[in-house]
Every structure is written in C-alpha cells, then in structure tokens.
Amino acid sequence: MPHKMQSTSHRSRVKLHAKRFQKGLSLFLTMMLCAALFSLTGCSGRSSSSDDAANTAAASIAEAGGAANENAGEHDALEASGETTGNGASAANAAMRTAAPPLSTLAVPAYSSAPAVVINGDAPYFTEGDLAQGFFEEYAPLDGLGRCGTAFALVGRETMPTEERGDIGDVKPTGWQTPISKYDFVDGKYLYNRCHLLAYQLTGENANVKNLITGTRTMNVKGMKPLEDDVAAYIERTGNHVLMRSTPYFEGENLLASGVLLEAQSIEDGGAGLRFCRWCYNVEPNVGIDYATGANWDESPATPEANTGSQSDGSEQEAVRTYILNTNSHKFHYPDCRGVKSMKDKNKQEFTGTRSEAIAMGYDPCGICLP
Ligand SMILES: [Zn+2]
C-alpha cells in the first residue's frame, strides 16, 4: 500500500523532544503523550514489547479518563473497518475510537451563503478515549458503493509534508463527472475538486482513495481550506498536536456527499489553542446538483441578452496575481506556500497572471496552498 509507506516516511522525520512534554502538563496529558512516544518507538523500532507497553499505557489512560464512550453503538463502523496506518498500538486502540454522530443529530441549517457553519457550539464530538489515542492515522475503507468514510488522525509537525503533492488525476471518487463539469463563473472553472478529507498539508496523504471525495470548489477552498489552514498555522506556531476527524455524509445511496463535518481539537493545551466543529456544505452557488449521481446544471440567474459572455457584470473576471511556478514539477503556488520554500531555485519562476492562464500554460495547482 503506497500510502502506508508514505506516512511511515513522514514519521521517520519525527522530532519529538521529551522536554516538550513537561511544560506544565497534567498527569493525564503526560501519560497520553508517553503513549504517543511509545507508539512512535513501536513504529520505527519494531519492538513488540514497546508496542505492548503503548497499548497498556493507552488502555490505562482511557480508563483513568473515564472512557466516556457515549457513542458506544456508533463506533462499530470505524472499529470494524478502519485501516490503521502506522503502528500496532493504534490498531489496538481503534476499539476506543468513536465516530461522529448521524446527520440527523447535527441539526445542520439549510445552506444560505456561508460555506461552513458552526455545529454543536463548535465543540467536537470527541470522547476522552478519542483524545487519549496517541499517534494514529485511520481511513475507513470504501463502502459497497465505493464511497469514503471517516478519516481520523492525530496530526502534528511529524505528519506534515514539505514536498509538493504529486498527481492525483487518476483518482475518480464517487460522484465524479466525465466529461468534467465546467462553469465560467466557478473559481478556476471546474465545479468539482478531488477533495482531501484530511488535508494533504496536514497528513501528507495524497492519492489515498480513502481520503478523497468529490467536492465542489466552494467546499474545498472556501469551506474546508480555511479550517485546515488554521490547524496548520496552530501546529507550526506551537509544535503541538491536533486531533482531527473528517466525516463525509452521504444521504441514502447518494454518490455525492451532502457535506463534510470537520472536527479538530488541540491536545497539549486541552483545546484552548484550537477547537472547532464545522459543517462544510458541498454546494456551489448558482449550480444545481443531483446528489444521487453528481450530475449538475447551471442555475445562475438569467443573463440579459445584451450581456452575453462570461464577463457579464465584471465581478467574474479572474484576479491577476503573482504565482510561483515550479518548472520541473509543473505546479503553481502562492508565494507564501511551504512548498515554495523547499523548491530548488533553478526550478522557481515567478508568474503574474490569472489562475486559468497558469493552467493553460500546463501548470497544476499545488496541493498544499490550493491556488
Ligand atoms: Zn503551494
């Protein structure tokens, strides 16, 4: 499995320092992070005794924490199905992980114009058991219709990539349309993006089919990306870790998700630094969507005859801005992207123009900064 190897290689860059764990943490947190260390050791060191130690430590923490598993009936899907990347401790702990609640209990308001809305007072539905997991990264297997399930992981500097993302053009998540759906009024023209449930910029998981759904441009860039950016910025600032769960909701037999519930909570400071629970709508303004299949159609207000063309009111003109091109990988970036910093100077080229022009020149948008 390529993605397993990928995340293992990211873990090989682990830079955990014991002193980080001792900054006034409670006994609970200290024990939990010890478990994380043990699981890392188990991952690279392949010592079965340290795996056992991690399991034991994690189990006792869950008990000490009350193991308040309120969703006992709901974690079966994750437990039964979850594929764990990484280490033995995670596999054993999978039984203690829960799933997000069903759509009916989320009370998602009807879409109006905000790409994402607060759910449950912005409090994730994590249990003490979820929060005491240590390192794990888990992607539910595809269901009978080929649809993704929950993606759940503890993310930190160790799991974040510094390289540009490779090509994911071969992945066709459920609801994907061929030929590809294009609208002049959609940012970048393409209605659908291959949308990572857990962002590439946080996990390094790229072409993992269990981490990619068909998502509208608006959900990907305006709904999920600002939240993912918040998590990345928090991690870069503090070096702390964040528990993240990304759950796509498919109603009935629909092949296109209605939306994604994105939950996150920082670990070392108990959520004080970062905590949210948001619903990201899988919608695109002025596009009608059949969620059963992903089929779609133009619903923009009728354009007066005099105003034909894609620039009917001037506001739809694409912004001209400066991008950084990688002439080797043929990706383009925002100038402040982490991928630019790791780029060789000889491959770096500045470009000022529109996004469409960059694409027309044969460049693909970077997967970290999503220009
Ligand atoms: Zn970039």
Distance CA 238, CA 214 (A): 32
Tell me the mean pLDDT in the region 5-31. 38
Structure tokens given for 25: 């943490």
Q: Which helix (H) or strand (E) holds 117?
A: strand 116-118
Give yes or no for residue 47 having a pLDDT over 80: no
Q: Looking at the chain, how many residues does it have?
A: 371
Count CA atoms closer than 13 A to 315's CA, side-chain side: 1
Give yes or no for residue 67 having a pLDDT over 80: no
| Cα 67 to middle of ligand 1, angstroms | 40
Give yes or no for residue 87 having a pLDDT over 50: no
Every domain of the chain with CATH number 3.40.570.10 lies at: 2-297
Q: By percentage, how much of the chain surpasses pLDDT 70? A: 70
The pTM for the full model equals 0.65
pLDDT value at residue 96? 81
| Cα 332 to middle of ligand 1, angstroms | 7
Give me Rg for the CA atoms of the chain.
21
- DSSP annotation string for 19-42: GGGGSS--HHHHHHHHHHHHHHHH
239 neighbors 273 (Cβ within 8 angstroms): no
Distance CA 272, CA 337 (A): 27
Tell me the mean pLDDT in the region 214-223. 97
- Residue 354's SS3 state is coil
| Cα 257 to middle of ligand 1, angstroms | 26
| Cα 164 to middle of ligand 1, angstroms | 7
| Cα 367 to middle of ligand 1, angstroms | 6
Distance CA 56, CA 93 (A): 10
**Longest distance between any two alpha carbons in the chain, whole Å:** 76
| Cα 322 to middle of ligand 1, angstroms | 13
Give yes or no for residue 77 having a pLDDT over 70: no
- By DSSP bridging, strand 331-333 and strand 364-365 are parallel
Q: Which CATH number among 3.40.50.1100, 3.40.570.10, 3.40.50.300, 3.90.1420.10 corresponds to the domain 2-297?
A: 3.40.570.10
Distance CA 277, CA 245 (A): 9
Distance CA 19, CA 8 (A): 24
Neighbour count for residue 236 (Cβ, 10 Å): 11
| Cα 201 to middle of ligand 1, angstroms | 9
* pLDDT-based confidence at residue 358 (cuts at 50, 70, 90): very high
pLDDT value at residue 285? 96
332 neighbors 365 (Cβ within 8 angstroms): yes
Give yes or no for residue 313 having a pLDDT over 70: no
> CA nearest 199: which of 292, 122, 137, 133?
137
| Cα 126 to middle of ligand 1, angstroms | 31
pLDDT value at residue 168? 87
Neighbour count for residue 37 (Cβ, 10 Å): 18
- Highest-pLDDT range among 1-15, 98-112, 319-333: 98-112
* pLDDT-based confidence at residue 316 (cuts at 50, 70, 90): low
DSSP E strands in the chain: the ranges are 83-85, 116-118, 137-139, 151-155, 192-196, 212-216, 242-249, 259-266, 275-281, 287-289, 296-298, 321-326, 331-333, 348-353, 364-365
- Give residues whose Cβ lies within 5 Å of ion ligand 1: 333, 337, 339, 366, 368-369
pLDDT value at residue 1? 35
Give Cα 267 to chain centroid, integer Å. 18
Q: By percentage, how much of the chain surpasses pLDDT 90? A: 56
Prior bond of 179 cis (ω within 30°):
yes
- Residue 288's SS3 state is strand
pLDDT value at residue 241? 98
Distance CA 123, CA 96 (A): 19
Which parts of 65-97 fold into alpha helices (H)?
Answer: 76-81, 88-93
Look at 100 and 38; give whichever has higher pLDDT: 100
352 neighbors 322 (Cβ within 8 angstroms): yes
Structure tokens given for 265: 């909570």
Q: Which of 81-85, 214-218, 232-236, 340-344 has the lowest mean pLDDT?
A: 81-85
Mean pLDDT across the chain, nearest whole number? Answer: 78
| Cα 71 to middle of ligand 1, angstroms | 38
> CA nearest 212: which of 173, 261, 253?
173
Distance CA 218, CA 227 (A): 13
| Cα 163 to middle of ligand 1, angstroms | 9
Q: Which of 2-11, 111-120, 174-183 has the lowest mean pLDDT?
A: 2-11
Distance CA 126, CA 68 (A): 10
